[in-house]
Amino acid sequence: MSAELRLPYLQGYAPELLAQVRGLIASGRLAQTVAKRHSETHEVRTERALYDYVNELKSRHMRSAPPLSKVAYDAKLHIVKNALGTHSAVSRVQGSKLKAKREIRIASVFKEAPADFLRMIVVHELAHLKERDHDKAFYALCQHMAPDYHQLEFDLRLWLTARELVASTDVTNVT
Ligand SMILES: [Zn+2]
């Protein structure tokens, strides 16, 4: 069964790594493995709290970037397509338009996520204020703000995978 299991949140990662993940899933230890590494929760549940949180990180690392007009949790954001992208560049609005907007939208799922993952996604979105694409310069900026960025993004993808597995199990178990 595990060999057939698709891992949509982990596209682009090395086959050896995916084999390890499938092993964790098969033994039912994926969720607890992630939870162990990222046990700290957060209280950033309202838009006001999110605004403060984002601006605190912004003033620490990206003081020169222009102010944000809006910071919001967005329940309609599809996290892989819109928030994280795959490992290729996402097409985005052209320069001037993007500049004019300067909003940060965070998928609502992060309200319930470990503190590390909220920090990771905010760092990701802040980096987009300067770098449009998911290229070297972009990830360098992410790592400047969060030295453990790559590990965090991978673990976030594991967390999302584990969450979805639980959700699909719940559905099958309804009798
Ligand atoms: Zn992105």
Q: What percent of the chain has pLDDT over 70?
A: 81
Quick check: is 126 in a domain?
yes
User: Is 20 domain-assigned?
Assistant: no
24 inside domain: no
Structural domain range at position 111: 41-154
Q: What's the number of domains the chain is made of? A: 1
Question: In angstroms, what is the span from residue 175 Cα to ligand 1's centroid?
Answer: 40
Query: Contact at 8 Å (CB) between 112 and 41?
Result: no
Confidence of residue 149 (pLDDT cuts 50, 70, 90): very high
Give distance in angstroms: CA of 74 to centre of ligand 1: 15
In a domain, residue 83? The reply is yes
Domain assignment of residue 75, yes or no: yes
Tens of pLDDT, residues 105-124: 898 999 999 999 999 999 99
66 CB neighbour count, 10 Å cutoff: 9
> Is 174 within the bounds of a domain?
no
Alpha-carbon distance of 76 to 67, in angstroms, equals: 24
Question: pTM of the predicted model, to two decimals?
Answer: 0.84
CA of 75 to the centre of ligand 1 (A): 17
Give a yes or no: residue 55 inside a domain. yes
How many angstroms does the Cα of residue 133 sit away from the middle of ligand 1?
7
Q: Contact, 41 vs 91, CB < 8 A?
A: no
Alpha helices (runs of H) in 13-135, residue ranges in sequence order: 15-26, 30-37, 47-61, 95-101, 115-127
Name residues with Cβ closer than 5 Å to ligand 1, which is an ion: 85
Judge whether 164 lies within some domain. Answer: no
How far is the centre of ligand 1, averaged over its atoms, from the C-alpha of 160 (Å)? Answer: 16
- We report the CATH number of the domain holding residue 72 as 3.30.2010.10
Tokens 């320069």 correspond to what residue? 95
Residue 170's pLDDT band, with cuts at 50, 70 and 90, is low
